[in-house]
Amino acid sequence: MARASVRVFHKLEGLFSIYKPPGVHWKLVRDTIETNLLKGINAAPPPAPRQRVQFLAEPTSVVAEGSNELTLSAASVPALAHHPLVSGPEFLHIGVGVGHRLDVFSSGVLVLGVGQSNKALTDLYRSHVTRDYTLEGELGMATDNFSHTGRLIERTTYDHITRDKLERVLAMMQGSNQKALLTYSKVDMSTQGAYELAVKGELRPDGKSPPIMTGLRLLHFQPPHFTLEVQCLNETQRYLCRILHEVGLELRSTAVCKGVRRTRDGPFTIQHALTHQHWTSTDVIQAIRQYRSSRKASKAKHTQPGKDTGTTDHLC
Amino acid sequence: MYRPPSHVTMSCVFITDIYMALTCIQHCQRCTSLLRSRSVGITTLQYSTDAQHWPAALWNSFIVRVLPSVLQRSPNPSQTRQRWNLGVRSYCESHAKVQPSQTKHGNTDELPETDMVSYQNPVSHQLIDGGMLLKEWQTAFDLDDAPGHSALEEISHEEAVHMNIPAALPPVSISLKDYVNESETLGKLIQLGVQLWKLEQRPNVGSMLLRLDFQTDVTPRLVFLKQLGVDDSRLGYLISHNPFILTESLENLQARVAYLRSKKFSAESVASMVSRAPYLLNFSVKRMDNRLGFYQQQLGLSAQKTRDVVARLPRLLCGSLETVKENLKICKLEMGFRENELQHIVTVIPKVLTANKRKLTQIFDYIHNTMNIPHDLIVKFPQVLNAKYLRIKERHLFLQYLDKAQYDPAKPNYICLDKLVSLPDEAFCTEVASATLKDFELFQKTM
């Protein structure tokens, strides 16, 4: 029969997403969550204290007469070797794995897995999942690391930029990315199957590929600030900041990135991501259950009409 | 049938017994050398009476053959053991020069009245390092004679019951689990609530705890702490964090407490300081005096206020002064607080003196430059310097989003900094921001 702490640990084995705040290293986040989960596991009631039997000899009152009566009494004393203060907490370490990492400057959805689910995590990222980002940019500045915290290199004017011009530049970038996607997916465009996949937007690169943006949209434009929404795969946050810089260059001005926020990582959306006051074991168990049920529901929906999704990740 | 002369027979028995005693003495030496080895995280058991580990058959044979009178006089095994030890020593002393360090055991202050037959060895010999030269003995006697007793001999039930079988404790172990069932000290420490699993990870602490005797070492110090006023429930915490309080001499502890009382700290405050800073009483009077003098001088506070500050944060007397000096420099030069402002901040929040430099400057930078809060308002509410940076940032941005971020007391709809920082999330949302907790969480996800 498993101990209470082991049962709690098995409930925690699963994938869940958290919202990483900006300015915090991902490793610190992972360590905080591991500490909180360990607190929850070790808080489970310990097993019943074990006893051991000790035989005590009764004092023989009459020695000289040579009475041969031996009386031994059995006493049940607690076995201190298994006391929690001697053996320590039952779990000292659990394996919490991190999915696609976010750097210190960015914020957003970060996928974590506990225990056996770390294998599912590697499967998730080997199948090319797309991610959604919201990028906030500011026109008129150029820095060395493409973000507003870097060392300033250049200042330019941006009065000539209109929404129209910006959207044209974005459309051009999306076009070149689409071409790259077709090249890396190694499909023959003259076939019917490839055409259908491309129409549904389910083309994915085959094997390794550079960062590719599958979708690019302008959300908000108020000079000098503007906001972009990007869907991409195989990217890094630094690459996205560079994209903003290149947008500025294309518009004959400069731009820096003021914020990178991930709103979706594969099947994990920002809606169910846990904020830092909810990084406890009870909330994590709930999030894991909720993700599992949503996966089951979506699987049932997809398999019902008899279609095969293929490109989407299949995890439970 | 060949019968050896009677005196030779008797001496054979003695020789074989002494030979067995010799091997046991050598065994003792090996044990003491084990004790002397210092190794990290390895506990070594001190053998309190070496006789425990000598095989029972040897012990029995010695009692029965050599000292028959002793058995009748004292049925108590430990006394018998002592007399046996005496027997060995007196025998050795009567025939050779003894190295006293190896053969002395426990408290042996009574002279034995033995019926031992003294054997005159024709070959002169002397003891070397507590052992005896075997060659001389071997040449004189025929060791093929079987000894009187063997380990397979049957003994009566009474002897079996009264025989004290020692626990099979390993001499060296990486954990205190192996010794905790037998050791009285460890058992009592567990009852107090001491976390032995943490202490055994520290180098040499496990061995030190095993060597302590509960009655002579631990009890006087626990009584001292209780008399000081430390609560029973805190004793476990104290020893878990500072096990070396059990090895500090009582005179030193009393001297340090007397020093603190002489500096006009009340009895309750001394008790609370000791229970919150476990290492306090391990520091010398000179060091504590040095620190108290430093705080009084640097902060420029009166004696009573310095006492209050130290009583609230007793680890100021334990840690290094360099970090405190750097923090004070930062507050004066980087943040630009004046002397009297700094005094006020430290009396309200002494933790500022031991805070992390980087975090302190980050919080101050955000509060002063981004939230535009002037110095005098920060001095009025120093608890903002103690709060978490992320909390201040999220709440400020939320209020800014709701157009409620107004921290100037002169203008209407003023938000008190104290409430901004110290209220829990639920209360903050309802009272200060007039929004729901869900809204706040949704806002957090847009940062």
Q: How far does the CA of residue B445 sit from the closest CA of chain A (Å)?
A: 7
Cα angle, residue A152 at apex, residues A146 and A156 outer, rounded to 5°: 90
Q: Which residues of B touch A23 (CB under 8 A)?
A: 390
Q: Of B71, B183, B446, which to mutate for an interface test with A (greatest number of A Cβ within 10 Å)?
A: B446
pLDDT, residue B91, reads 46
pLDDT, residue A263, reads 94
pLDDT, residue B147, reads 60
Residue B250: C-alpha distances to residues B235, B255, B260 (Å): 17, 8, 15
Q: What is the pLDDT of residues B107-150, one digit of tens each?
A: 334 344 444 434 444 444 443 344 444 555 555 566 666 566 67
Q: Check CB contact of A220 with chain B, cutoff 8 Å.
A: no
Beta-carbon neighbour count of residue A248 at 10 Å? 28
Alpha helices (runs of H) in B176-249, residue ranges in sequence order: 177-180, 184-192, 196-199, 205-211, 219-228, 232-241
Q: Of B159, B183, B444, B447, which to mutate for an interface test with A (greatest number of A Cβ within 10 Å)?
A: B447
Of A240, A193, A196, A233, the closest CA to residue A212 belongs to A233
Q: Check CB contact of B441 with chain A, cutoff 8 Å.
A: yes
Note whether B181 contacts A23, CB cutoff 8 Å: no
Nearest CA in chain B to A83: B190
Average pLDDT for chain A: 87
Q: Check CB contact of A49 with chain B, cutoff 8 Å.
A: no
**Residues in chain B where the model's pLDDT stays below 50:** 1, 4, 6, 8-19, 21-41, 44-133
pLDDT, residue B350, reads 92
β-strand pairing of A107-114 with A131-139: unpaired
pLDDT, residue B438, reads 92
Nearest CA in chain B to A72: B161
Cβ-in-10-Å burial (0-12, 13-18, 19+) of B37 comes to exposed
Q: What is the pLDDT of residues A96-145, one digit of tens each?
A: 999 999 999 999 999 999 999 999 898 888 888 899 999 999 999 999 99
Q: Which residues of B touch A86 (CB under 8 A)?
A: 176-177, 180, 190, 196-197
Q: Residue A254: phi, psi to the nearest 5?
A: -135, 160
B1 three-class SS? coil
Residues in chain B: 447
pLDDT, residue B136, reads 52
B20 three-class SS? helix
Q: Check CB contact of B235 with chain A, cutoff 8 Å.
A: no
> Rounded CA gap, B116 and B335, in Å?
88
Q: Which residues of A touch B446 (CB under 8 A)?
A: 261
Note whether A80 contacts B198, CB cutoff 8 Å: no
For residue A213 the two structure tokens come to 């943006």
Q: Check CB contact of B388 with chain A, cutoff 8 Å.
A: no
Cβ-in-10-Å burial (0-12, 13-18, 19+) of A29 comes to buried
Note whether B180 contacts A88, CB cutoff 8 Å: no
pLDDT, residue A70, reads 64
Residue A130: C-alpha distances to residues A98, A213, A311, B199, B345 (Å): 17, 9, 11, 49, 51
Could you give the ipTM of this predicted complex? 0.86
Report DSSP letters for A239-265, one per residue: HHHHHHHHHHHHTTS-EEEEEEEEEEE
> Rounded CA gap, A208 and A197, in Å?
19
Is the pLDDT reported for residue A311 higher than 80? no
Q: Check CB contact of B181 with chain A, cutoff 8 Å.
A: yes
Q: How far does the CA of residue A308 sit from the closest CA of chain B (Å)?
A: 34
Note whether B161 contacts A70, CB cutoff 8 Å: yes
Arithmetic mean of pLDDT, A232-241: 90
Alpha helices (runs of H) in B96-193, residue ranges in sequence order: 100-103, 134-140, 157-162, 177-180, 184-192
CB pairs A-B closer than 8 Å: 61
pLDDT, residue B199, reads 93
Cα angle, residue B226 at apex, residues B223 and B231 outer, rounded to 5°: 145
Nearest CA in chain B to A78: B181
Is the pLDDT reported for residue A170 higher than 90? yes
Note whether A261 contacts B196, CB cutoff 8 Å: no
- Are A132 and A230 a contacting pair, CB within 8 Å? yes
pTM over 0.80: no
pLDDT, residue B141, reads 60
Q: How far does the CA of residue B174 sit from the closest CA of chain A (Å)?
A: 12
B347 three-class SS? helix
Which of A22, A85, A89 is opposite residue B193, by nearest beta carbon?
Answer: A85
Q: What is the pLDDT of residues A2-46, one digit of tens each?
A: 788 999 999 999 999 999 999 999 999 999 999 999 999 999 888
Beta strands in B241-392 (DSSP E): none
B367 three-class SS? helix
Q: How far does the CA of residue B233 sit from the closest CA of chain A (Å)?
A: 15
DSSP code for B244: G
